[in-house]
Every structure is written in C-alpha cells, then in structure tokens.
Amino acid sequence: MVISVDEKTSVGTLLHPLRIGSLELRRNLLLSPICGVSNSAHRILCKEHGAALVFTEMTKAKMLGEENEKTLSLASYFPEEHPVGIQLGGGDPDDMEEGARIAEGMGFDIVDVNSGCPARKVTKQLEGVALMSDPALVGRIIERMVRAVSIPVTIKVRLGLTHESINAKEVARVAVSAGAKMVTIHGRTAQQGYSGTSDWERIAEIKAALCDAIVIGNGDVRSPEDAKSRMKQSGVDGVMIGRGSFGNPWIFDQIAHYLEHGTHLPGPTIDERRETLFRHYEILGQIYEERTQHIVMRRIASYYTQGLPFATSLRRFAQKIRLAEDVHFLANNFFTAEFVERPREVLAKAGVVPDETPEPCEDELATCS
Ligand SMILES: Cc1cc2nc3c(=O)[nH]c(=O)nc-3n(C[C@H](O)[C@H](O)[C@H](O)COP(=O)(O)O)c2cc1C
C-alpha cells in the first residue's frame, strides 16, 4: 500500500515498515554512518534498541580490496547486525563499482555512497560532499554500482556545497534515475559543517519533488518529539539518527513508542545505563586490540555520562581511561543509584574533584577525525 504524505501526518502512520529495493525493514528508523562511533558495538546496541538499519562508518572503496587492517576493521560486522549497510567513500566509478562488489561478497545488505563528508582530507580528493559539485559523476558512480550488485545502492547527501549552490534535489534526482533505491538528506550545506540547524523545509521540498523515491531525512533529531515534528513537516519516508544516539541507543525505541502511542517510554534506569556501558566496552574489546579499545572508550564513556550529575567531572575522568580497572571504577562508582542520589559524597569518596562548570552540549563532544 502506498501511503500519501497527507495520510502520513497522523501519528500512527509516521512509523511504518520500509522497503528499500529488495530490502524490507521492520520500521523507518535508521542509524547514521558516523566515523569513530558507528562501529559494531554501537550498531549492535542501537539495533537491540530499535534501529531497523545500521550503517558502518565511511570506508574508502579503494581500500576495501586491500588486506588493510584498519579497513577490514571498519568493514567487519557481527551476524546479529543484519540488516547492515556499508557506506563507501570514493569518487572513482571503477573503485566504487569494485567496492560495491566486494561489499556484497562480504554479506552487506545495502551499500551507501558518501556524498556528505565535508572533511578537507576527503573533499580535496573529490570525494565525500565534493561529489555534489558533479552530479553527472554521481550518476555514473551509482549506475556502475547498481549494475555490479544485486543489493540496493543508496546515497547520503547534504543540501549542497554552500548556500549559494544548493543542489541536493538535482543530485538526488540523478542518483534515483541511475538506480539509487534511497536518498538520505542531511539538511545542512558542506560549508555549515555541523553548525546551524538542519533545514527540514528544504528536505520537505526534495521529498515532494521525488515523491516516488524513498527519501530519508537527517539532522538534529534528538528526541521523540523532534522525530514526530520533522516527519510530519517533511513527509519523509523515515529518519536517520546520528548524534542523538551517542550514549543513547534507546532513542530508536523511544521514538517508535512515541510515534505509535503518543506517550513516552520510561528512560533507561541507571542500572541499565551501567550494563549498557559495560556491554559497549566488551564489544569494543572484540573488535579492537586493547589499547584502541581503551582510547575509543574514553569518548564513548563520555557520551554515556550525559545527563548524570557532575558529568563534566566524570568526562574528565573518562578521558583518562587506560585500563579495564578505569572503566570498572567509572561504571561501578558513578553509574549507580547511590551516585545519582548523593553525587558529592560519592565523588569525594572516589577522590574525584567536582567540577561546577556547565555541561558542554553534545555537539562539542562530537568531532569527525
Ligand atoms: C563525529 C561524526 C562523524 C560522522 N561520520 C559520518 C560518516 O562516516 N558518514 C556520513 O555519511 N556521515 C557522517 N556524519 C554525519 C552524520 O551521519 C549525520 O549526517 C549528521 O551528524 C547529522 O545528523 P544528526 O544530527 O542526527 O547527528 C558524521 C557526523 C559526526 C558528528
């Protein structure tokens, strides 16, 4: 059944299954590709808490065929992650075709083209968001990939390079004509980086222009209310969530529940937060050697402290994680009911000096290397 945009504006139908080419998703809530974060540990937890499709961090298509340890770790996944997508970066149609073929051979369910990364080291090679300056090239890349594989090929774009050169509609049209089965739009320009806000009016215009294509909206969905209002406003087929899931894999089920029932699920208890922190740490241990596991854990543990008392002090502690004992100390002292009730006492007992400076916002914690 095709659901019209008007019908979709009632709360009940905003949440629905989604078909992307041959891939059937149980619901229309997706996890973004996020370098440094959307590894298997984050993906598994988001999956368990309601994300219907998860993506790897961007992996360079050209490197995929090489026995490069970093690339293999970026492109590995566990069976329970299915359906799982890989996001490829690259600007050469040969590399992208070959990358798609390898990705399909690795068992990925979907392959996405990165046309949104604004990092200089990526754009200077005419990759990432730089692809938007050449829609015809986007068309050639997608066409070659679509011909090479039977899994769906998709693309993630920004609005354009600058405010003066917004062309997401054109790029999306070209991509869909070339066979892309889904277009995700992050409603910022490359020039904006992560500043300002995602422009959902523009996203709505693109969805309206590409009415038959699957269009996913992205940017600044941090709560069930955000998801509902953005979906209503734009008529998109689903939302993709990035930063709102950092230290918060529960966001997907929370959104689904709100869209379905109009009420909020209770947030995770402090015990659930502690257990989830430990699980995140354990899975990181299965994908990285110990030193990397602890370096990555510094950032991940910081995300999980959001909303806890004296989070700035806890984050300072998290930045020093070097050993398993540090993770256990953090979790067992501060992710506890006792800490939530009597934070100053627990900090004093643990020998951590309370920092009274206000909480930084999540954006300040998020940097793409
Ligand atoms: C630290 C960081 C890393 C990111 N890495 C990627 C990436 O590898 N591929 C990609 O398409 N987008 C990447 N993005 C962009 C996100 O997928 C998403 O489009 C953006 O953060 C806006 O959505 P949000 O407000 O839900 O986070 C990254 C964003 C951040 C903050």
Can you give the three-state secondary structure of the chain, one letter per residue? Answer: CCCCHHHHCCHHHHCCCEEECCEEECCCEEECCCCCCCCHHHHHHHHHCCCCEEEEEEEEHHHHCCCCHHHHHHCCCCHHHCCEEEEEECCCHHHHHHHHHHHHHCCCCEEEEEECCCCHHHHCCCCHHHHHHCHHHHHHHHHHHHHHCCCCEEEEEEEECCHHHECHHHHHHHHHHCCCCEEEEEEEECCCCCCCCCCHHHHHHHHHHCCCCCEEEECCCCCHHHHHHHHHHHCCCEEEECHHHCCCCCHHHHHHHHHHHCCCCCCCCHHHHHHHHHHHHHHHHHHCCHHHHHHHHHHHHHHHCCCCCCHHHHHHHHCCCCCHHHHHHHHHHHCCHHHHHCHHHHHHHHCCCCCCCCCCCHHHHCCCC
Distance from residue 242's CA to the centre of ligand 1 (Å): 6
Q: Which CATH architecture has domain 7-261?
A: Alpha-Beta Barrel (3.20)
Q: Work out which ligand 1 atom sits closest to the CA atom of 363.
A: 31
Query: Is the CB of 299 inside a 6 Å radius of any atom of ligand 1?
Result: no
Q: What pLDDT, in 10s, does the model give residues 129-152?
A: 999 999 999 999 999 999 999 999
Q: What pLDDT, in 10s, does the model give residues 40-49?
A: 999 999 999 9
Give the pLDDT score at 10.
Answer: 47
Domain boundaries, the chain: 7-261, 270-365
Query: Is the CB of 368 inside a 6 Å radius of any atom of ligand 1?
Result: yes
Mean model confidence pLDDT for the chain: 93
Query: Is the CB of 218 inside a 6 Å radius of any atom of ligand 1?
Result: yes
Query: Is the CB of 196 inside a 6 Å radius of any atom of ligand 1?
Result: no
Q: What pLDDT, in 10s, does the model give residues 278-311?
A: 999 999 999 999 999 999 999 999 999 999 999 9
Asked if the model's pLDDT at residue 153 lies above 80, the reply is: yes
**Catalytic residue check, 46:** no
Residue 72's pLDDT band (boundaries 50, 70, 90)?
confident
